[in-house]
């Protein structure tokens, strides 16, 4: 290939024409079942059978009542989507007429005008078909016949000589079997936090693409730091992924690449493009950008998220030979937003014999704070809803998170998701969609996976938010620890593991993304190779001295810091709680206890929740009302996550140097017991209110460890500051008084981007020496910035056990509304929360028959002064409803002590 590079100031050539034409086949679809007893018309895609049947009134929502089981018949039937559309003679004159399915879920046959043009078996793949010779002038008929994924998976399983486990999910999931044999969202057959809704449908757009030359499909890039010039610069290597239909072709033209913010950044690449047998080719264009010309992209909390517009355009050499109105079919363009930043995963030898594992962004070590992301909806066609995605990602950003892990049992997320993560500065740990199972490794399966990886990496690679790739979720540890009874065939599964994840997925990722680390699993030992067997499987993928770990405890008191160990990086950990939105999903004849038990998929059911509550409080969990169970479960979850997260944050710089805490999980797919911090309807659990302070850039950690030793840590994530003079103030109070009975101050210097141990005391000895009773008093620590005397953070300490506390009484909480107004569908209320004595974990719940969505400025908070102000925002469309104090219910822990 002959390539000539020219640097030009003028953009004239770049501005010729528009782009190849894409015509969406969006509206007017019809859905029928196999025996034609159900027909739904006027469907718009993206969509799916569950959504279409609900929207037409044929069924209720699969998320309502016991419908995950009651509507399972939908998943067991075969369904057909049909569309009629018109073509003109001019349409069919174009050299390329390509029918593109961006996402088909999952097993389908596609017919155009009665001719079978293709079969699909991977919902993560874009399928393209050359239909120029099949389309006719006038009315055309497009038919997509879906096979039940449940039946399809069973047929594949029955055809295998040996089973690929797990055969089925646990019985309490109420799920379906063999999902690991399909390239489909793995959670759609049920998970421990989600229902089985085995979907079918056109979950992404269907387009007719018309062009006469080349189509630009994707743009990826690599940043290389250059320090051999007079001024430091970036080498920006741009890879333009081109298509010429579905077969090999040759075209000559100009490929123009520029950063639109810089007039002198245009590069023109005169080239002869020859595509492969699939009609695909990649052309590289290099450009240099002075570092002084751009600002860096930073994660949330560390700086701004500066983005620059990278525009790529193709112009065929024949463009000036045709009429103006024809030129757009000889051109193609694509625009992406990129960020200038470096990211590396540092894995160096540590003094204690392991390897470090932390992210360095723009040369700065950064502690990763965040959560795990599951699909925003169990139905794939709804999982790309921009409103829901924006709500969840903004909630993560506002809670001081800088990383989310896109979990490997869901879907590769939408372009909007990744763009919003760029905008919000949320780094993404990107799993590939393989989770908690063994998988096939035959050549047909591997070839499909190669295409899946190639397409999805190319689609999302340019986003600066993507920090790392992991080829699967928990499959290495499942194999090593014999989760699915694989030991009897270990060598077989180990060889398949290596073939799929190392030789196929890792290899394919590295072909298309030259900038990011690839982990062969999560958890994993990262770069540590000394303990791997001949297949490359670690002897202990959960070794805390290497890589990342997933850590759950259900038989120890999660409220106690001494029950946690420090890893290098905790990419999963969590505790369950009950949500509060049951009134939105319970049927009039449903029993709430039965519904909750049905939706509790934890193998231990709700015993871990009740154990944790009863371990810390003098209550019999089963005898409580559901309102009280919900409150205590959410409080208990928040306490446990706070304790564990603070162990990890305080462990930075220690001998284990913990540098990441991603709790499980951010969001939900239905109203059910789960590990989430945000309920399915968008309301925050107590945990999500707390996590903002837990992940605050500057915070105070008070940690009761072994032998009741109290360590007080000051944490700073700031990177652009000097050492700061700070003071930790300690005040001791009686439980029935607002005035402190003892005070101390501890001045110190806070080091930026580090943890400082401020003080350490033996609690029992200290209280004894002061003549104080541990069970009658609590301690409140405050972090004060000495420069402006600003309160930075506070942290209470309860030296006595909650079961043995004395002097706790009714705080007599009263609410008073001081502001009550509604504008543009947003109702804003200011609540004065008044108490007569210290109150533990005040929870204020908004209660209304119709309106369910609301936001509190804080909740589950401790109040040690007579009055606090609480801001409440309530979604109130058209400002139709009025609200008063009667719409708020208050609960405190005091009433359980």
Distance, CA of 243 to CA of 97 (rounded, Å) = 12
- Among 508, 572, 644, 646, the one annotated catalytic: 572
What DSSP line would sit under 666-721, residue for residue? Answer: S--SSSSSBS-SB-TTSPBPHHHHHHHHHT-SEEEEEEE-GGGEEEEEEEE---S-
Containing H/E element for 496? helix 490-497
Sheet holding 21-24, edge to edge: 21-24, 206-211, 96-101, 127-130
SS in 3 state form for 794-813? EEEECCCCHHHCCCCCCCCC
End-to-end CA distance of the chain: 78
Confirm whether 209 is a catalytic residue: no
Longest dimension (CA), the chain: 96
> Which of 284, 301, 161, 314 shows the shortest CA–CA distance to 222?
284
Tokens of 372: 């795990």
Cα 327-331-332 angle, rounded to 5 deg:
145
Confirm whether 615 is a catalytic residue: no
Dihedral angle sign, alpha carbons of residues 189, 192, 193, 195: positive
Dihedral angle sign, alpha carbons of residues 351, 353, 355, 358: negative
- Among 243, 474, 508, 679, the one annotated catalytic: 474
What DSSP line would sit under 532-593, residue for residue? Answer: B-TTS-BS-TT-TTSSBEEE--SSS-TT-GGG----S-EEEE---B--S-GGGT--TT--HH
Please enumerate in sequence order all residues whose Cβ is within 8 A of that of 858, keeping only pairs 6 or more positions apart, or say none.
Answer: 689, 870
> Which of 206, 304, 317, 237 shows the shortest CA–CA distance to 271?
317
Distance, CA of 867 to CA of 834 (rounded, Å) = 5
Asked if 137 and 89 count as a contact pair (C-beta separation under 8 A), the reply is yes
Please enumerate in sequence order all residues whose Cβ is within 8 A of that of 649, keeping only pairs 6 or more positions apart, or say none.
Answer: 367, 369, 658, 661, 694, 699, 701, 713, 715, 755
Distance, CA of 85 to CA of 772 (rounded, Å) = 83
What DSSP line would sit under 390-443, residue for residue? Answer: HHHHHHHHHTT--EEEE-TTS-PPPHHHHHHHHHHT-EEEEE-S-BSS----SH
Q: What is the dihedral of CA 882, 885, 886, 887, to 10 degrees?
A: 60
Quickly count: other Cβ atoms within 10 Å of residue 74's Cβ: 24
Distance, CA of 486 to CA of 358 (rounded, Å) = 32
Q: Strand runs (DSSP E) across 451-558, as ranges?
A: 466-470, 518-519, 549-551
The strand pair at 427-431 and 403-406 is best described as parallel
The values of phi and psi at residue 206, to 5°, are -115, 130
Peptide bond into 665 cis (omega under 30): yes
Cα 639-644-649 angle, rounded to 5 deg:
120
Cα 461-122-452 angle, rounded to 5 deg:
25
> Which of 818, 791, 813 shows the shortest CA–CA distance to 866?
813
- Grouping H, G, I as helix, E, B as strand and the rest as coil, residue 597 is helix
Catalytic residues: 474, 572
């Amino acid at each position: 290939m002959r390539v000539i590079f020219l640097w030009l100031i003028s953009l004239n050539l770049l501005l010729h024409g528009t782009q190849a034409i894409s015509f969406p086949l969006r509206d007017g679809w019809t859905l029928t079942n196999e025996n034609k007893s159900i027909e739904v018309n006027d469907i718009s895609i993206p969509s799916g059978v569950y959504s279409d049947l609900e929207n037409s009134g044929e069924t209720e929502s699969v998320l309502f009542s016991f419908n995950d089981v009651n509507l399972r018949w939908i998943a067991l039937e075969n369904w057909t989507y049909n569309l009629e559309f018109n073509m003109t003679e001019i349409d069919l004159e174009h050299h390329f007429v390509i029918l593109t399915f961006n996402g088909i879920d999952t097993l389908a046959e596609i017919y155009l005008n009665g001719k079978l043009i293709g079969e699909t078996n991977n919902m993560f793949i874009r399928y393209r078909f050359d239909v120029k010779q099949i389309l006719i002038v006038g009315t055309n008929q497009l038919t997509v016949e879906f096979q039940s994924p449940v039946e399809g998976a069973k047929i594949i399983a029955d055809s295998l000589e040996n089973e690929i486990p797990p055969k089925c999910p646990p019985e309490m999931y109420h799920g379906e079997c063999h999902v690991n044999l399909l390239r489909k969202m793995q959670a759609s057959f049920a998970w421990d936090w989600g229902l089985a809704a085995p979907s079918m449908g056109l979950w992404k757009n269907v387009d007719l693409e018309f062009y006469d030359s080349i189509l630009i499909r994707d743009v990826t890039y690599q940043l290389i730091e250059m320090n051999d010039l007079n001024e430091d610069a970036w080498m920006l290597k741009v890879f333009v992924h081109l298509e010429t239909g579905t077969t090999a072709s040759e075209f000559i033209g100009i490929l123009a690449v520029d950063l639109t913010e810089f007039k002198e950044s245009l590069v023109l690449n005169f080239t002869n493009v020859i595509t492969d047998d699939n009609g695909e080719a990649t052309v590289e264009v290099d450009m240099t950008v002075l570092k002084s010309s751009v600002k860096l992209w930073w994660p949330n909390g560390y700086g701004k998220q500066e983005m620059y517009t990278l525009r790529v355009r193709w112009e065929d050499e024949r463009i000036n030979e045709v009429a103006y109105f024809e030129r757009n079919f000889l051109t193609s363009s694509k625009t992406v937003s990129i960020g200038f930043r470096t990211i590396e995963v540092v894995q160096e030898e540590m003094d204690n014999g392991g390897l470090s594992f932390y992210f360095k962004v723009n040369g700065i070590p950064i502690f990763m704070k965040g959560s795990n992301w599951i699909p925003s909806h169990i139905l794939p066609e709804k999982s790309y809803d921009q409103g829901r995605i924006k709500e969840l990602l903004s909630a993560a950003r506002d809670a001081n998170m800088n990383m989310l892990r896109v979990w490997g049992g869901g879907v590769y997320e939408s372009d909007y998701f990744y763009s919003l993560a760029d905008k919000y500065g949320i780094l993404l740990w990107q799993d590939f969609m393989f989770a908690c199972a063994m998988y096939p490794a035959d050549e047909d399966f591997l070839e499909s996976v190669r295409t899946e990886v190639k397409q999805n990496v190319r689609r999302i690679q340019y986003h600066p938010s993507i920090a790392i790739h992991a080829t699967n979720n928990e499959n290495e540890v499942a194999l090593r620890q014999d989760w699915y009874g694989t030991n009897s065939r270990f060598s077989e599964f180990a060889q398949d593991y290596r073939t799929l994840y190392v030789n196929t997925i890792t290899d394919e990722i590295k072909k298309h993304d030259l900038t990011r680390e690839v982990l062969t699993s999560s958890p994993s030992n990262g770069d540590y190779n000394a303990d791997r067997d001949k297949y490359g499987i670690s002897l202990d993928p959960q070794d805390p001295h290497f890589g990342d770990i997933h850590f759950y405890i259900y038989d120890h008191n999660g409220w106690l810091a001494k029950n946690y160990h420090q890893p290098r990086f905790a990419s999963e950990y969590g505790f369950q709680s009950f949500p509060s939105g049951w009134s939105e999903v319970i049927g009039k004849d449903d029993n709430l206890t039965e519904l909750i038990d049905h939706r509790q998929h934890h193998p231990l059911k709700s015993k871990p929740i009740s154990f944790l509550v009863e371990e810390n409080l003098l209550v019999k969990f089963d005898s409580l009302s559901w309102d009280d169970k919900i409150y205590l479960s959410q409080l208990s979850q928040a306490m446990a996550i706070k304790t564990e997260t603070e162990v990890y944050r305080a462990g930075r710089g220690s001998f284990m140097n913990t540098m990441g805490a991603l709790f499980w999980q951010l969001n939900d797919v239905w109203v059910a017991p789960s590990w989430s911090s945000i309920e399915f309807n968008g309301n925050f659990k107590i945990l999500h209110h707390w996590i903002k302070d837990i992940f605050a850039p500057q915070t105070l950690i008070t940690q009761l460890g072994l032998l009741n030793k109290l360590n007080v840590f000051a944490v700073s994530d700031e990177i652009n500051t000097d050492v700061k003079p700070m003071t930790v103030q300690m005040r001791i109070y009686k439980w029935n008084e607002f005035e402190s009975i003892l005070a101390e101050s501890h001045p110190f210097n806070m080091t930026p981007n580090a943890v400082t141990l401020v003080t350490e005391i033996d609690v029992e000895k200290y209280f004894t020496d002061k003549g104080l009773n541990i069970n009658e008093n609590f301690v409140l620590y405050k972090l004060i910035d000495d420069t402006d005397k600003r309160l930075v953070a506070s942290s209470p300490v309860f030296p006595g056990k909650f079961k043995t506390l004395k002097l706790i009484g009714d705080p007599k909480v009263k609410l008073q509304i001081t502001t009550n107004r509604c504008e543009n569908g947003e109702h804003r209320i200011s609540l004065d929360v008044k108490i007569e004595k210290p109150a533990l974990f005040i929870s204020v719940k908004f209660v209304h028959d119709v309106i369910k969505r609301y936001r509190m400025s804080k909740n589950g908070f401790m109040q040690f002064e007579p009055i606090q102000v609480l801001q409440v925002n309530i979604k109130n469309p058209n400002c139709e409803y009025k609200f008063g104090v009667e719409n708020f219910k208050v609960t405190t822990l005091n009433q359980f002590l």
